[in-house]
Chains A and B, each alone.
Chain A
Amino acid sequence: MDFLAFIDFTFLLLVGFGTLVGIIFGAIPGMTATMAVAVCLPLTYALGLNHGLALLLGLYVGGISGGMVPAVLLNIPGTPSSITTTFDGYPMAQKGEGEKALRICVIASLVGGLVSALVLFLFAPLLADFSIKFSYVEKFLIILLALSVIASLSSSMLIGIFSGVIGIWLSLIGDYSISDGGNGHTRLMFDFMEPYLFEGFSLLPVLIGIFGISTILLEAEKGVKRDTAGERIKLGKEGGFSLSVFKGGLTNLTRSSFIGTFVGMLPGVGGSAASVLAYTQEKNLARDSSQMGKGAPQGLIASESANNALTGGALIPLLSLGIPGDSTTAVLIGAFTLQGIQVGPLFIPENHDTWYVMMVALVLANFVMFVLMFFAIKHIAKVVMVPKHILYPLIVMMCVVGAYAINYGIMFDVWTLLIFGVLGYLIQKIGLEVAPLIIGFILGSQAEVYFVKSLESFGTYSIFFTKSSIAMVLWALIAASVLFAIAMGFKSRARQKMELSQMHTPSNTTAGKRHDSTND
């Protein structure tokens, strides 16, 4: 129990602060947990490892949970993962049951978060133990699997793979590092870039640029629409909430929590997939799903427990394999590196205390989230009204601090923000996908080392198939994810055709086309 010594008052304070800031970010439409972590990064530079973790995990949990507030009150998902919360939350709010809906969400979130923390606690060390035996060949295949899973869950597999490969390409800019056994030569750049880009782009400025600056650009393009100030937030009458809502919802709660955890484990898959899957499962399996979409608590339970369960799930591959489970954990990986933590199979066995501290912070953050949201929901709900013209300049400012300070004052890192901000904007505009690109960028240079070193030592490509039984299992999983993507592609195409043929009114057909284009 040595780790308890690390948990002091400041630690508790930081978890609380992180969670609160996270909730606020999550609650503001357009701001995400990823951005909360990115913007608050500079604060962790000065904190020690344990305190930094407390803040980061608080931000993560709070950021994911906060999305429920505008989802219920304004019908706008605060974060992508609360999209299914709007289906039942907003109808409830319109019936004057906003507060009740939010409290249901809060409890579901708490359960989801705790279930996933438990799974993380039990499962991550096992996975780490198992993966410790991996050689470069298996490690390369794991990365390949990660990328193929992300790609297969993108709206179009081809686009997903292409985005991922662009990410890998970007990560190769710079030298083939001698410390990784490379020859130290640079590639993919002109000579004049060498002073700036010898070591390639720094991870965190890239992430902050893609998630922070590009969001601002996308909003600026839309003219930074006037805020929802005109609309009145309707919290509805006091009370009306009792735990009896959860009666008969236990199966739903447990199922959705596990779905969320599992989806979280898949690399690069955001929370929206988790909550959508949990929601549709509840719709298919519930005894009575007729009210879902019209304001049924069961829909809220499914959606919110799943999206909060994502937190623990996404940390599993991060801590045991060094592969981020979603975009927020992608930023976390950078923050950890900064604290001197190398995440991967050796992390848990070699840093027992840190691992326990993380678990404490994670569980604590869930409880803080619960207390804050359950009792102070009225005040937090006002956050959705913060005007964007105040908020956005501050976000750019904090992005700058985060990027500049990361390598102790390099101005090029700040320009990286802009480069990747614009790139992120263009990527989203032309329909490429950000998540695979980021994961590709993070894993690209490792993939190179594992790939080239495997070939150097074995001298044949066939080694990737014949090295071990684990390698074959990994190939089977890769094939399964590809087949899954193809099957899903056919299914959604068939459904779209059916929907299109059912629609007759002109307004509906345009909606159908739009839907079509987002899925292409």
Chain B
Amino acid sequence: MASDLLSVSIDFETSHLFFPHIVHWLLAGLFLLILVTKVVPFMAAVKRGERTLPIIGEARDSKRFFGTLALICAYFYLMAVVGDLFPYTGYGFLFVSMVFVLLMSLMYLHDWTKKKLIIVVINAIAAPTIAWFVLAKLFTITLP
């Protein structure tokens, strides 16, 4: 009888949903378990003030964190835009990377001294150039 219970037939037309369906049930079950055993006690501890919520309740260097996210988004977006202006040259990567490396370095730099700024600028120009030359020119790898 047990074999009847365990027997299964899979319709080919919907076979792409068979495994995801099982995974969904698993996820739901596990999530419930975690909710009961971990999240509820955790939230109780938060209420008592013993713990803090992750992300929301934590101290964060917002300027650098959101700055990083914004810079990365702009970098990815503009790379493609500039890259389309000069197709198959990798210039999109080269020029936008220079600006990106410069801005991100400046954002992460804590004390702006002349010496450090010079290093940052040199790095921002040299590093993307070297990467572009080695990858796009020597190795002929596709770059935006």
Contacts and interface: CB of A to CB of B under 8 A. Distances in A.
Contact of B105 (A184, A222, A390, A414): A390
A396 B6 contact: no
Given A220-B65, A460-B3, A452 B142 contact: no
A107 B100 CA distance: 41
A462 B3 contact: yes
B33 A393 contact: no
A394 B79 CA distance: 15
A121 interface: no
B125 interface: no
B38 interface: yes
Q: Dominant SS at the A interface?
A: helix
Nearest to A426: B55
A226 B64 CA distance: 13
Interface string A447-473: 110011001100111100000000000
B69 to A, nearest CB: 7
Interface residues of A, number: 72
A187 B17 contact: yes
B104 A392 contact: yes
A165 B16 contact: no
Interface string A390-404: 101110111011001
B108 A392 contact: yes
Interface centre among A166, A397, A404, A455 (most CB of B within 10 A): A397
B40 interface: no
Interface centre among A45, A187, A390 (most CB of B within 10 A): A390
Interface stretch (A82-90, A155-163, A325-333, A494-502): A155-163
B27 A223 contact: no
Given A390-B120, A461-B6, A183 B16 contact: yes
A42 B76 contact: no
A201 to B, nearest CB: 15
Nearest to A222: B61
B114 interface: no
Interface string B4-20: 00111110110111111
Contact of B135 (A387, A401, A426, A460): A401
B34 A460 contact: no
A414 B80 CA distance: 10
A156 B31 CA distance: 14
A405 B2 contact: no
A455 B54 contact: no
B123 interface: yes
A405 B10 contact: no
Contact of A405 (B26, B34, B104, B142): B142
A169 interface: yes
B2 A418 contact: no
A430 B108 contact: no
Contacts of B26: 165
A224 B127 CA distance: 20
A513 interface: yes
Contacts of B54: 429-431
Contacts of A462: 2-3, 6
B27 A166 contact: yes
B109 interface: yes
Contacts of A479: none
Contact of A411 (B16, B80, B106, B116): B80
A415 B80 CA distance: 11
B6 to A, nearest CB: 4
Contacts of B68: 216-217, 220
A517 interface: yes
Contact of A162 (B8, B34, B111): B34
A169 B21 CA distance: 10
Interface centre among B6, B19, B116 (most CB of A within 10 A): B19
B104 A158 contact: no
Given A183-B15, A393-B100, A223 B76 contact: no
A162 B31 contact: yes
Contact of A389 (B2, B24, B108, B139): B108
A421 to B, nearest CB: 8
Given A165-B30, A389-B120, A401-B93, A46 B140 contact: yes
Given A42-B135, A456-B10, A460-B6, A188 B104 contact: no
Given A162-B34, A221-B60, A226-B110, A46 B141 contact: yes
Interface string A407-421: 011010011011001
B68 to A, nearest CB: 4
Contacts of B20: 169, 172, 187-188
A182 interface: yes
A411 B144 contact: yes
B8 A455 contact: yes
B131 A396 contact: no
Interface in A247-300: none
Given A172-B23, A400-B93, A401-B143, A418 B6 contact: no
Contacts of A217: 65, 68-69
Given A162-B31, A224-B64, A390-B105, 12 more contacts: A46-B140, A158-B33, A182-B15, A186-B16, A220-B61, A389-B105, A393-B100, A397-B131, A404-B93, A414-B79, A418-B73, A520-B42
10 contacts: A159-B34, A169-B20, A176-B15, A217-B69, A221-B60, A224-B64, A393-B105, A394-B127, A414-B80, A455-B10
Chain A to chain B: the 4 pairs with minimum beta-carbon distance, closest first: A46-B139, A223-B61, A176-B16, A389-B108
